[in-house]
Chains A and B, each alone.
Chain A
Amino acid sequence: KAGVTQTPRYLIKTRGQQVTLSCSPISGHRSVSWYQQTPGQGLQFLFEYFSETQRNKGNFPGRFSGRQFSNSRSEMNVSTLELGDSALYLCASSSGTSGGSTDTQYFGPGTRLTVL
């Protein structure tokens, strides 16, 4: 079974631009979570989608948004990029069958975003 895939793997943008990152979950998984990883703040939860609905959200400004499609693929968007948005963005999928928070999350390779 194919793992979680993320595209693109690398991105370079300038301040003020916007960016869209894509995540394809493991086949059959219905939950997708997004995380930001930086050297200073570590791994921080952005949001989670299940069956096209956002169920949970972390403490990030409104410039960070996401969505999920009917095939469970997910995208996240960052508008008006700032230098501090430079990070590795990780997507994780889980089955969602437990209905709660305890499903194992499987991570993709990440998208490395650099903001100049």
Chain B
Amino acid sequence: AQSVTQLGSHVSVSEGALVLLRCNYSSSVPPYLFWYVQYPNQGLQLLLKYTSAATLVKGINGFEAEFKKSETSFHLTKPSAHMSDAAEYFCAVTGGTSYGKLTFGQGTILTVHP
């Protein structure tokens, strides 16, 4: 079984500040991890993915995430927040024989203040 916990359902930052969204996972098989972003009334857009090739993963729009097996974490960061980053962010895990199944966290709503 797999699960994801996103710490903090709401995160608020000022424009230009560091963005840190936390994700911890549980998996009995080697995990593949993803971060998606969802803007209002839209589907999910892939930000980045970890597939065991490198522990530090760079994604779109300046986001990156680091896979830490010892901490079972996959936190998302961005050095400088932009107003356009305001959205809901989802961490997801898959692996093994979970054909086509992503297990998502509950999501974190990011608010960016001017």
Contacts and interface: CB of A to CB of B under 8 A. Distances in A.
A100 B99 contact: yes
Contacts of B43: 4, 90, 107-110
Interface of chain B, main secondary structure: loop
A104 interface: yes
Interface residues of A, number: 29
A31 B98 CA distance: 13
Contact of B100 (A105, A106, A109): A105
Give the interface size class of chain B.
20 to 34
Interface string A41-79: 011010111100001101000000000000000000000
A33 interface: yes
Contacts of A112: 41
Nearest to A34: B100
Interface of A: 4, 31-33, 35, 42-43, 45, 47-50, 55-56, 58, 90, 92, 94, 100-102, 104-110, 112
Interface of B: 32, 34, 36, 41-46, 49, 51, 90, 94-107
Given A58-B101, A100-B97, 13 more contacts: A33-B101, A35-B102, A43-B107, A50-B99, A56-B100, A56-B101, A100-B96, A101-B32, A101-B95, A101-B101, A102-B32, A105-B100, A107-B36
